Amino acid sequence: MSQHHHHSAPAATPVVESKLPKVGTTIFTTMSALAQEHNAINLSQGFPNYDPAPELQRLVFEHMQRGANQYAPMPGLPLLRRRIADKMQRMYGVDINPDTEVTVTAGGTQAIFCIIAAFVRPGEEVVMLEPCYDSYAPSVETVGGTVVPVPLHAPEYQVDWAAVKAKITPRTRMLCINTPHNPTGAILTDADMQALEQILDGTNVLLMSDEVYEHLIYDGQAHASALRFPGLRGRTLAIYSFGKTYHNTGWKTGYCIAPPELTREFRKVHQFNVFSSNHPVQAAFADFMEDAEQYLGLPAFYQQKRDFFRAAMSQTRLKPLPCRGTYFQLYDYSHLSDEADLDFCKRLTIEFGVASIPVSVFYSDLRDDKVIRLCFAKTEDMLAEAARRLARV
Ligand code: GLN
């Protein structure tokens, strides 16, 4: 009998109907792999080519040596949550309770997934402004929700709040915003947030506010955190990322801030998704955050990179769009080629040695305005060389 089992063919894999039929490998993985294959400068996936502060690295190791090697508390280390609350007070003048309103996550993307999984039921609608980060829609679809897109348009990508309002129905569970905005580099202003307060007033709609680029904001503009607006605070789950702030996207650590009632539900999903996030890294951030200069200097640090890159790129024929925040700069190539933006990005990588991201992938209908995204979180030598290569296009 056992013999028989040994020799029979394995049972066929059951037929599965994909929950995400339109999803393949993410564009970030695809373009970074293509860049590597062709030895191209990789300005596609958003990450710095420089390291976090040596002191921060040292602190991680020190905490490992001191025994921070087992599970951290499920919601995050108490000291780190306290430092986060202090920072929110200092940056935005908001009172955040570190015990009931802050949860440390395994990066922004995990926070996004947990927010959606915790609150969106099958058939409920989630309104999102497109283009948007590529994890939002698949997260909604995984839990059976329905994505309701509102398109934003080049070159300003300003929000038409009347169009947003028109999409809010009794089925709307959540609205997603992102400022500073990936991939466009646009920001929401106080006036935008006030318009949003009016639209959501009297509704039961939750607000997912992706603020991972909070410190990457230029020309003296202030970040319009949703937490600052009284009409939004009670319905907001705001997402932040240590990776963007401290140049360590690979450490995969961030946090979610929300009122106690919402945090309670968020944590129910979080605890069964990752349980808790990286312990020595949390301990190191808790120490390192004492020095506010580290993040207060970021707008100037990145504005200089933006200006350097835009100046270097002026030798190319690509047309820059406005960049008010994030470490992404968009370029329009519609006057140079009719190619689909994905094909154009692949050709730039293979023939010219610079990898970028096509903006169409951030629209559910793959709307192609012939615009590409380049990441300028790179050293000046790399940015200059990328511009030299692109000057031949
Ligand atoms: N947020 C980063 C970007 O937009 C990439 C994140 C990822 O690769 N998953 O480039």
Same fold, 27-52+296-390 and 54-294: no
In angstroms, the CA 228 to CA 223 distance is 10
| Segment (H or E) for 126 | strand 125-130
Give residue limits of the domains in the chain: 27-52+296-390, 54-294
* Start-to-end CA span in the chain (Å): 68
Phi, psi dihedrals of residue 150, rounded to the nearest 5°: -120, 115
Sign of CA dihedral 279, 281, 284, 288: negative
DSSP one-letter code for 359: G
Burial class (CB in 10 A: 0-12, 13-18, 19+), 14: exposed
Letter for the amino acid at 218? Y
Give the β-pairing of 146-151 and 206-210. unpaired
Specify the residue with its C-alpha closest to ligand 1, atom 2: 46
| H-only helix segments in 38-157 | 54-65, 78-92, 108-119, 136-142
Alpha-carbon separation of residue 220 from 91, 210, 230, 275, 293 (angstroms): 14, 21, 23, 39, 17
Q: Which residues line ligand 1 (CB under 6 A)?
A: 26, 28, 45-46, 109, 182
Residue partners of 390: CB distance under 8 A and separation at least 6: 313, 316, 318, 348, 352, 354
In angstroms, the CA 242 to CA 214 distance is 11
Domain 27-52+296-390: assigned CATH number: 3.90.1150.10
Ligand 1 centroid from CA 35, angstroms: 15
Q: What is the pTM of this model?
A: 0.96
Specify the residue with its C-alpha closest to ligand 1, atom 10: 46
Sign of CA dihedral 106, 278, 214, 186: negative
Specify the residue with its C-alpha closest to ligand 1, atom 8: 28
Token duo for residue 299: 């707008």
Letter for the amino acid at 338? D
Alpha-carbon separation of residue 363 from 20, 162, 169, 178, 366 (angstroms): 16, 20, 22, 15, 5
Pocket test for ligand 1, best of 31, 182, 248, 362 (most atoms within 8 A of CB): 182
In angstroms, the CA 71 to CA 90 distance is 30
Domain 54-294: assigned CATH number: 3.40.640.10
Sign of CA dihedral 331, 337, 340, 346: negative
In angstroms, the CA 269 to CA 121 distance is 13
Specify the residue with its C-alpha closest to ligand 1, atom 9: 28
User: pLDDT in tens for each of the 393 residues of the chain?
Assistant: 455 556 678 889 999 999 999 898 999 999 999 999 999 999 999 999 999 999 999 999 999 999 999 999 999 999 999 999 999 999 999 999 999 999 999 999 999 999 999 999 999 999 999 999 999 999 999 999 999 999 999 999 999 999 999 999 999 999 999 999 999 999 999 999 999 999 999 999 999 999 999 999 999 999 999 999 999 999 999 999 999 999 999 999 999 999 999 999 999 999 999 999 999 999 999 999 999 998 999 999 999 999 999 999 999 999 999 999 999 999 999 999 999 999 999 999 999 999 999 999 999 999 999 999 999 999 999 999 999 999 999
Alpha-carbon separation of residue 52 from 55, 285, 343 (angstroms): 8, 11, 34
